């Protein structure tokens, strides 16, 4: 398998590494990372991120317990159960 090669113009990516991607691809750079993904995967990733944002917002609006509150409750139950032994 060919390796990636840096050049003066950028990064040379061998076609063998992109062989599994079908149809159009999305290429984006974030920091020092280059993301190359199929449009289908990009759409699925965005949909999942949108769903997580909506779930977090709904939990926040409904007054759901914070992780700290949950940890306190778990610790209290464990202390109570430990006293029964």
| Neighbour tally for 31: CB within 10 Å | 5
Asked whether the predicted pLDDT for residue 85 surpasses 70, the reply is no
Closest CA to 18 of 35, 30, 40, 42: 35
SS3 content of the chain, % helix, strand, coil (to 5): 50, 20, 30
**Domain locations in the chain?**
20-82
pLDDT in tens, 30-65: 888 888 888 888 899 999 999 999 998 988 888 888
């Amino acid at each position: 398998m060919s390796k990636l090669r840096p050049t003066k113009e950028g990064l040379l990516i061998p076609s063998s590494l992109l062989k599994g991607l079908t149809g159009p691809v999305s290429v984006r750079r974030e920091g020092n990372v280059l993301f190359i993904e199929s449009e289908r995967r990009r759409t699925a990733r965005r949909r999942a991120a949108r769903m997580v944002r909506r779930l977090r917002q709904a939990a926040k609006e409904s007054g759901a317990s914070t992780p700290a509150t949950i940890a306190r409750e778990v610790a209290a139950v464990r202390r109570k159960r430990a006293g029964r032994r």
